[in-house]
Chain A
Amino acid sequence: MRNIFLFIRRFSNFFFFLVLQIVALSFLFRFNKYHEAIFMGVAGEVTGRVSEKYNTVEYYFKLKRTNEALVQENVHLRSLLRQNYQGPDTTRKLIIDSIKVDSLLKVQRFRYYDAKVVNTFVTGLDNYFTIHRGSNQGIPKHTEWGVIGPQGIVGRIVSVGDNFSVVMTALHHQFKVYCMIRKGQDVQTGIVSWDGVDPRFLTLINIPKSLPVAAGDTVLTSNVSDIYPPGIVVGTVSSIVDDKSSNFYTIKIKTATNFSSIQYVYLIEDLQKEEQQKLEDPFKKSQ
């Protein structure tokens, strides 16, 4: 017994080293798996406050690009207004869709919230944003809302603090989203992810070669994507790798969003997600 104590005392520094390493690595692997870490809530508040102060300076230098992005979005939304579509002849008739855009919100599926981005990094292998909206401002804890910017998709919420939240961007090795390419009537769904090489490009797989894809085609979020409404821009096709041994293309996509200059994002709440999940769960378990 005495020898054991002597042994521990002799190598106390080494044991202390091992203990600290184990603590650090357990923090790391736990965060990689579940996106939650000890003290992350408290630390997130502190780092969020510091980042917010820094962002007040940074924001000034990015005003021009932010403004341009917002104006472009406004132009896009204005072009969708109904009064833009007028048939001059009576043979063409504008039919108003009978879907209920009601004030009782019974059929509304997606609800949008705005949020200010206070901290961005696109230097690493896994990239996160901090946004200035938390559970005190209406985001429930443990949600996975989708996040989009003025130009296209950005990521999803992974951690919610009191006043700040953490967004996993599309530039993350765990991020995946179902996307589609539409060619007339032909729609094909694939999966978009990031290979960790260049923050300007994403990778789209599982698009069958029957679809005549060309560079410049727009890639949109699919109807089956779990957190985004269908039809949100992901990016445009940049180059196509034609793998002869496969029936599917591997496509490089130029992201629509400029991740390093984005200042405002929209959070998307899916109001009917719970119902959908409840219906799907028994079938997922039986598989």
Chain B
Amino acid sequence: MSPLVKNIARFIFFLLVQVFVLHQVPPLHRFVTPYLYYLFILWLPFSMGRGSLMLVAFLFGLSLDYFLYTPGLHAAACVLIAYVRPFLINLLIRQEGSEMTYASPSPTSMGWAPYLTYALVMTLLHHTYLVFLEYLQVRSILYFIGKVLATTGVSMLLIIITELLFYRKERYRTNTA
């Protein structure tokens, strides 16, 4: 499968899982909303430019928003993490030229510790911004902190489970390929 087809399939898959599985889970607590959909943005290839990364993230977030009737909420958070992503990858990449030899961020291409740091920072950023926009309506500092931390915990758990279940075979790119 070419990377383009793969990513289009992921786009649809993550959207449907978020809307029809994770958002159908009966509310456990008001602090807990299981989010996994933005893993799509974490998995996008290294080779994408920052502009196209943000544009894809915007369209992805907006598609989710139209399902959940929150136009712009998730789109704003997705654009933020897409903007920060290249900075973070440059900081955390394991060895020189890893983004040249591997196609996209994963535990194999970056190593488990840098990859989880990358996922944690992105998750925190995404949830902080998302809950902040909600906080403008609720205005309770306890709600804000509690929701960011609880949702981040649940999301990290989901990301680790997904990485362990769906092992992505990262092809080692060589000049001959």
Give A residues with C-beta under 8 Å from B.
Answer: 12-14, 16-17, 20-21, 23-32, 37-40, 43-44, 46-47, 50-51, 54, 58, 121-126, 128, 166, 173, 196-199, 260
Give Cα distance in the complex from A37 to B70, angstroms.
9
Closest to A173 in B: B137
Chain B's interface size range is: 20 to 34
Q: Contact between B72 and A196 (Cβ–Cβ < 8 Å)?
A: no
Cα A38 to Cα B62 with chains together (Å): 11
Q: A24-B62, A28-B133 are in contact. Are A124 and B70 (CB under 8 A)?
A: yes
- Interfacial chain A residues near B61, Cβ < 8 Å: 24
Stretch from B26-34, B108-116, B154-162 contacting the other chain: B26-34
Closest CB of chain A to B33's CB: distance in Å? 6
Our count of residue pairs bridging A and B at CB distance below 8 angstroms stands at 96
A38: chain B residues within 8 A (beta carbon): 71
Interchain CB contact under 8 A, B30 and A43: no
Q: Which B residues between 76 and 109 are near A, CB-CB below 8 angstroms?
A: 76, 79-80, 83
Q: Which residues of B contact A27 (CB under 8 A)?
A: 62, 65, 71-72, 75
Interfacial chain A residues near B70, Cβ < 8 Å:
28, 31, 124, 126
Query: Complex formed: what's the CA distance from A21 to B74 in Å?
Result: 11
10 tightest A-B CB contacts, nearest first:
A27-B72, A28-B72, A43-B66, A24-B76, A37-B71, A24-B72, A24-B75, A27-B71, A128-B69, A20-B79
B167 interface contact, C-beta 8 A: no
A17-B79 contact in complex given A31-B71, A40-B71, A128-B69, C-beta closer than 8 Å: yes
Taking CB atoms and an 8 Å cut-off, the chain B residues in 33-78 that contact chain A are: 33, 50-51, 54-55, 58, 61-62, 65-73, 75-76
Q: Kindly provide the distance from the CB of B141 to the nearest chain A CB, expressed in whole angstroms.
A: 15
Q: Name the residue among A44, A126, A128 with the largest chain B CB count within 10 angstroms.
A: A126
- Contact flag A121-B23 (CB < 8 Å), given A16-B54, A24-B79, A198-B30: yes
Q: Does B25 contact A (CB under 8 A)?
A: yes
Looking at the assembled complex, report how far the CB atom of B40 sits from the nearest CB atom of chain A, in whole angstroms: 17
| B163 interface contact, C-beta 8 A | no
